[in-house]
Amino acid sequence: MITKSQNLPKSSSQESDQDDIDLMALAMVLLRGWKVIIACALLGLVLALLYSRYVNPTFKSDALIQIDDKSQGIAALGQNISDLVSPDVSPAQTEAELIKSRMVLEPVVNLLHLDIVLSDPAVGVLNKIKQNRTATQINIPEGVSLNTDDGQARISQFKVATAYLNQKFQLTKTDTGFVLSNGFDEFKGQLNQSYRFRGTDGDILITVNDLPDSAHTINITKQSLQVTTDGINGRLSVVEKGKQTGIIQMSLTGNDQKQVSRILEQIVLSYVDQNQSRGSEETTKTISFMETQIPTLKQKLEDAESKFNQFRTKYGTIDVSKEAELLLTENSQIDSQLNELRLKKADLTTYYTEEHPMVVQINEQLAVLNDRKQEIDNTVAGLPEIQREFLQLSEDVAINREIYLTMLKNYEQLKIVRAGQIGYARIVDLPISTFKAIAPKKLQIIVLGLLLGAILGTIFVLVKSLLRKVVKDPEHVEETTGVPVIATIPRSSSLSRLAKKKNASNRLLAYVDNNSLSYEAIKSLRTYLMFGMPEVGKLGHRAKVILISGESPGVGKSFIAANLAEVFGQLNKKVLVIDADMRLGEMHRLFNMEPDNGLAELLSAEHIAEDSTVNAIHPTAMDHIDFMPRGKQPHNPVSLLTGERFDDVMQQLSTHYDYIIIDSPPVLAASDPMILSQYADKVLMVTRYDKSIEGQLNYAIKQMNKANIQIDGIVLNDVQQTKMSKYSYHYNYAYGNNK
């Protein structure tokens, strides 16, 4: 198909449209890159399958703990006793953080030897993929074990100095026992015996129970407590179910279901033990305080009774008036209240300061009672001295007895509380083994691998399209270069298959694919050139010279030149094809000839005679078509072309041929096209669809324009005719049987 371009002024709206993102063009880019996208998706699928086989299954175990609002053991004894112990408890969120603390985890680490890590260096990536699941370490109170292909490794004890923590050791079985080494030190011992080795950086205590065969090495590491607890916390989840429910859910993941359940169960039991000890701590402190106060109160009571008895012995029984009895009763009540408040204050000050609101409130109540007591004392002062002393002594006895009996009663009750205290954490569900893997989710991994592969493929296609802007749109090429695209040559599927065969005899469309759209497009190019040629060529003779070049190698300029010569020969026109690329010309292969005795030899000869020109021209298998090969590669091809000899050769040839088609080197590779274009009536620039770079094409045309050479047209070669191509309409109307 032939397209023509006219230099029309561009409107501002057209220029702004060029700046907009062409969504259709992006879609076409993705459709043209479907092979890359599918390849990346398949690669992602393969990697996902390999990953799903590489990783071990992950199992999960759950447990539930309930946090009570306050201890039921204290509340069951009555409001008065429960008031003696602080009712404040930690919220569930605080308890969740305590569960993940070293205080709770350290007993579990020590019990199950979780700080001892065994690994099998013989298990590599390929083994994991091949086996789909590898053995994992098992921790029990008796020790640590790991199964291998050559036997089991069992270690019941491994303690090292601080300097050896988190360092890898190697264990190897020998005929007499085992060898422990770390690259610097080497220790030997017997199985099932405890050994203490003295290394460079400290002592090592180890008991090895069993090892695989002597050729199988096991790696062993003693982790620090921090590293071990961090590893557990990385797999441990502690959350409150709902809001303000007081129910804590604990979850632990790992590669062995029984191992996970065992570790989580010990964590639950360790937390409950710590919680119970912490829950009875307040009761224990209160009892300790009472034990220090009871002897003192008892002594005060005995002293008061002794003084009162001595007074009665000395003065006998005294008849106290009614008023004195009332004052005594009220004063006794006040003193009882004062002592009770002082007792509560003493209890509170063991936990709070004087500024605490409850302590301040008790101080205020004490002040009021003391004021009233002072008033009663002033009234009693008016009684006779013996009556006043009688009242005071009897009052002291009553008060001290009341305080002592109250303290003794509370003390006995708190001892009962402590005996039955169970803490405020209750185990609801202990972990169980479900043996249902939660990961890897193979279907999700496969789907994700496909999607990621497709996304990466899409990104690759888009980035490649942005970074390497290739020639695709003929209209865009015309706009950017200002040169019309005079022909688009579709790709020939027959030639594409033939190109894979190195020994193919002929690669011209007339012999291989003469019913194709490609061949019809070459004929259309011939028609354009016939009507666009001047009546008289530049050389003043009948021959019309057509120069065919390209911006870079591999665009197919030799293919266009050879096939164009063939279709001109069909019109009984005498055509000469010159391979003017004296460096790397390969046109002789299209005509099944040798490159020797051609243009290079003709221009290098001392004298150019008529017969020497004839000797450089070789007839082809096609009628009316002759060929001049490049010849042996000369040292100075540019000098040969700029000399007068080439001008004489062209003058001679123009008298014998109707058309002379010159295949020149690429513009960006050599300056030869600029010299050869001086003899050409038409200069064509061949570029390749989806391979040539737009920037290189534009630069090549600018270089020719700087040399005052006008490019008459661009031939877009190897256009792929697919439904995905937005620009296929450029050749869809060409006649032919595209099989």
CB 695 within 8 A of CB 469: yes
Q: Which two tokens stand for residue 597?
A: 């005795």
What's the token pair of residue 205?
A: 């205590």
Residue type, 106: E
Span 96-141, pLDDT tens digits: 889 999 999 999 999 999 999 999 998 888 877 777 778 899 999 9
Angle 62-66-68 from CA coordinates, rounded to 5°? 170
Chain mean pLDDT for the chain: 82
Count of positions (residues) in the chain: 739
Tell me the CA distances in angstroms from 346 to 202, 311, 342, 356, 363, one per residue in order: 52, 32, 6, 13, 11
Burial pattern 165-197, b for ≥16 Cβ within 10 A else e, equals beeebebbbeeebbbbebeeeebebeeeeebeb
Give the 3-state secondary structure of residue 356: coil
Q: Which of 644, 632, 639, 686 is nearest to 662 (CA)?
A: 686
3-class SS string, 179-195: EEECCCCEEEECCCCEE
Question: Would the pLDDT of 624 be above 70?
Answer: yes
Instruction: Quickly state the pLDDT bin for 197 (edges 50, 70, 90).
Output: very high
CATH architecture of 281-420: Orthogonal Bundle (1.10)
Rounded to the nearest 5 degrees, what angle is found at the Cα of 584, between the Cα atoms of 582 and 585? 70
How do residues 651-685 score in pLDDT, each as one tens digit? 888 888 989 999 999 988 888 889 888 888 899 99
> Can you say whether the dihedral through the CA atoms of 592, 594, 597, 598 is positive or negative?
positive
- Between 286 and 82, the more confident residue is 286
Which has the higher per-residue pLDDT, 733 or 677? 677
pLDDT of residue 80: 54
Classify strands 713-719 and 485-490 as parallel, antiparallel or unpaired: parallel
Q: Whose structure tokens read 């599918």?
A: 38
pLDDT value, residue 41: 94
pLDDT confidence band for 306 (50 / 70 / 90): confident
Burial class (CB in 10 A: 0-12, 13-18, 19+), 385: exposed
H or E element: which one contains 143?
A: strand 143-148
Is there a cis peptide before residue 534, judged by omega within 30 degrees of 0?
no
Beta strand pairing call for 659-663 and 682-688: unpaired
Q: Which is more confidently placed, 714 or 276? A: 714
Higher pLDDT, 7 or 593: 593
Give per-residue pLDDT as tens, 22-67.
677 678 778 878 999 999 999 999 999 998 888 889 999 999 999 8
Q: Tens digit of pLDDT for each residue in 490-544?
A: 988 787 777 666 655 557 888 888 888 888 999 999 998 888 887 766 676 778 8
- pLDDT, position 362: 86
Q: In the chain, what is the straight-line distance between the N-terminal and C-terminal CA atoms, in Å?
A: 18
59: which strand partners? Answer: 254
Q: CA 715, 717, 723 angle in degrees (round to 5)?
A: 120
pLDDT for the residue 684: 93
Asked if residue 307 has pLDDT above 70, the reply is: yes
Q: How far is CA 241 from CA 63, 244, 281, 578, in A?
A: 12, 8, 28, 87
pLDDT at position 358 = 85
CATH 3.40.50.300 location in the chain: 485-498+505-730
378-420 pLDDT, tens digit each:
776 656 666 677 777 788 888 888 888 888 888 788 777 766 6
Rounded to a whole number of angstroms, the CA Rg of the chain reads 52
What residues form DSSP beta bridges with 549? 685
CB 679 within 8 A of CB 651: no
Give the residue-averaged pLDDT of 426-436. Answer: 89
* Residue 692: band (very low, low, confident or very high) from pLDDT cuts 50, 70, 90: confident
Residues 6+ apart with CB under 8 A from 360: 354
Which residue ranges does the chain devote to CATH 1.10.287? 281-420
pLDDT of 463 > 80? The answer is yes
| 3-class DSSP assignment, residue 199 | strand
Both tokens assigned to 102: 């070293």
Mean pLDDT of 622-645: 85
Helix (H, G, I), strand (E, B) or coil at 122: coil
Q: Of all helices (H) and strands (E), which one includes residue 173?
A: strand 168-173
Residue range 468-486: mean pLDDT, rounded: 86
Give the count of beta carbons closer than 10 Å to the beta carbon of residue 303.
Answer: 13
Cβ–Cβ < 8 Å for 74, 85:
yes
Contacts of 200 (CB under 8 A, 6+ apart): 184, 185
Least-confidence region, from 158-162, 420-424, 532-536:
420-424
Question: CATH 2.30.110.10: does it fit domain 485-498+505-730?
Answer: no
Q: If we measure between CA atoms, which residue out of 203, 197, 194, 169 comes closest to residue 184?
A: 169
Rounded-to-integer distance, Cα 127 and Cα 134, Å: 8
Q: Pick left, alpha or beta for residue 556 (phi over 0 → left; psi -120 to 50 → alpha; otherwise beta).
A: left
* Whole-angstrom distance, CA of residue 221 vs CA of residue 207: 14
The answer to whether 548 touches 587, Cβ cutoff 8 Å, is no
- CA–CA gap between residue 59 and residue 436 (Å, rounded): 6
The dihedrals phi and psi of 274, each to the nearest 5 degrees, come to -65, -40
pLDDT at 206 over 90: yes
Inter-residue contact 691 to 541 (CB < 8 Å): no
Contact 518, 509 (CB under 8 A): yes
Provide the pLDDT for residue 423.
Answer: 62
Separation in Å, CA 442 to CA 54, 126, 364, 589, 639: 11, 19, 71, 55, 69
- Residues 339 and 395 sit within 8 Å (Cβ to Cβ): no
Q: What is the rounded average pLDDT of the residues 629-652?
A: 84
Cα distances (angstroms) measured from residue 641 to each of 28, 582, 671, 676: 44, 10, 10, 7
pLDDT, position 724: 44
Q: What would the pLDDT profile of 344-359 be if each residue is shown by its tens digit? A: 888 787 777 788 888 8
